[in-house]
Structure 1
Amino acid sequence: MDMKKACFAAILSAATQCVFADEVVSRNVEGKCPSIGVAERTPYAPGLSYATSGKFTLREDGITLFDYGTNYNNLGKWANPYFNSNFAYALYRDWLQTKCTDDDLKNKFLRVADWYIETAEFKNGMALWTYPFHNQYFDLDPGWISGIGQARVAGVLYRANAVSPKESYKKTADLAMEAYTHEITEGGVITRDNGVTWIEEAPDPKGRSFKVLNGHITALSGLVDIYEITKDQRWKNLIHQGEAAVSRDLTKFDGGFISFFSLDWPSPTRRMSERGGYNSLHVEQLLWMYEYFQEPKYLKWASHFQSYEMNSDKYTASYSVNAKTNGPERTKAILFGASWTTNEYPTTFTVTPEKPTRVKGIAIDALDLARRPIDFTVVAYMSGREVARKEIVGNEELWTDVLFKFPVKADKIDITFTKGDRITAITSIMAIRRDVDLAPVTNRCNYRRKSGTNDIVYTLNGAMSEDPNEKMPVRCDGWVFLPMEKGKPYLRVKAHGVKGAEFTVLESWDMKKWKEVKRVPIASGERIRINAKYAKLEFKREAHEITEISTAVN
Structure 2
Amino acid sequence: MFAVPRVERLIFLLLIIGILAGCLSLGAERITVDESERLVDSARAAIDAADSYIRDGDFSRAKKMLEESRRDLEDGAEGFNTVFDKSEMEGVLAAEEKVDFALSYLDENRPGAARASLAAAREELVRVGISQLGAKDRIAPERFTVTKGEFPLTFYGTVDGVYIGYQPVPHNIAKAAREAFYAYDKSGSESDLDRGVFLTELLIEMSTERDGGFIVWPNNFAWPAYDLSPGWIGALSQAGCMKALMLAYGATEDDRYLQFGDKALSAFEYSLSQGGLRSTRTDETGSYTWYPEYARSEPPYVLNGFITSVVWIGEYSDFTGSEKAAALYNEGVKSIAHFLPEYDKGGGWSYYDALGHRSSEHYHRLHVDQLALLYRLTGDEVFKTYRVMWSVEEG
Normalising by the smaller structure, the TM-score range is: 0.5 to 0.7
Cα gap change, 1:54/1:237 in structure 2, threshold over 3 Å: closer, same or farther?
closer
- Residue 255 of structure 1: SS of its match in structure 2? strand
Aligned partners of 2:220, 2:234: CA distance in 1, in Å?
A: 12
Candidates 271, 285, 290, aligned match of 2:357: 271
Q: Which residue of structure 1 aligns with residue 371 of structure 2?
A: 286
Contact 2:170/2:206, CA 8 A, preserved across alignment: no
Tell me what 1:89 maps to: 178
- Which position in structure 1 is the counterpart of 2:195? 108
Partner of 2:234: 146
Identity rate, percent:
22
**Which residues of 2 match residues 156-175 of structure 1 at below 5 A?**
156-175=244-263
C-alpha distance in 2 between matches for 1:209 and 1:77: 25
Are residues 1:122 and 2:213 paired?
no
Report the secondary structure of 1:222's partner residue.
helix
Task: Please name the residue that 1:208 is paired with.
Answer: 298
Superposition map of 1:48-63 within 5 A: 55-59=145-149, 62-63=150-151
Q: In the alignment, what sits opposite 2:62? A: none
Letter in 1 for 2:318: E
Alignment counterpart, residue 296 of structure 1, candidates 381, 385, 394 = 381
The answer to whether the Cα contact below 8 Å between 1:131 and 1:144 also exists between their aligned partners in 2 is yes
Residue of structure 1 in register with 2:100 after alignment: none
Please say if 1:185 is aligned against 2:281: no
Runs of 4+ in structure 1 displaced over 4 angstroms?
Answer: none
Aligned position for 1:76:
165
Any gaps of 5 or more consecutive residues in structure 2? 1-142
TM-score of the aligned structures, taking structure 2 as reference length: 0.59
Residues 251-260 or 139-148, more deviating: 251-260
SS at match of 2:153: strand
> CA shift at 1:153, angstroms?
0.7
Change (3 A) 1:170 1:302: same
Task: Count matched residues.
Answer: 247
> What are the residue-to-residue correspondences of 1:328-339 with 2, within 5 Å?
none
Alignment partners' CA distance in 1, 2:242 and 2:222: 24
Give the drift of 1:146. Answer: 0.8
Which residues of structure 1 form unaligned runs of 5+? 1-52, 265-269, 314-554
Structure 1 contact 181–190 (Cα < 8 Å) conserved: yes
Alignment match, 1:244: 334
Q: Does 1:67 align with 2:155?
A: yes
Q: CA deviation at 1:134?
A: 1.8
Contact conserved, 2:289 with 2:331, CA < 8 A, in 1? yes
Residue 117 of structure 1 contacts residue 168 of structure 1 at CA under 8 Å; is this kept in 2? Answer: no
Q: Deviations over 1:235-268 (max 9, x none)?
A: 111111111111211111112233111223xxxx
Q: Are residues 58 and 277 of structure 1, via their aligned partners in 2, closer, same or farther at CA, if it must alter by over 3 Å?
A: closer
Matched AA of 1:273: S
Alpha-carbon distance in 1 for matches of 2:156, 2:351: 26
- Structure 2: distance between partners of 1:57 and 1:271: 29
Secondary structure of 1:130 counterpart: coil
Q: In terms of Rg, which structure is larger? A: 2
Alignment correspondent of 2:12? none
Amino acid at match of 2:289: T
Name which structure has the greater RCO, CA cutoff 8 Å, separation 6+: 1
Q: Offset at 1:167?
A: 4.8
CA contact (8 A) 1:195 1:241 kept: no
2:288 maps to 196
> Contact conserved, 2:174 with 2:203, CA < 8 A, in 1?
no
CA distance in 2, matches of 1:285, 1:261: 13
C-alpha displacement at 1:298, in angstroms? 0.8
3-state SS, counterpart of residue 345 of structure 2: coil
Q: Deviation of residue 195 (structure 1)?
A: 4.7
- Which residue does the alignment assign to 1:344? none
Please state how far the C-alpha of 1:165 moved relative to its aligned partner.
4.0
More strand by proportion, 1 or 2? 1
RMSD, aligned α-carbons: 2.2
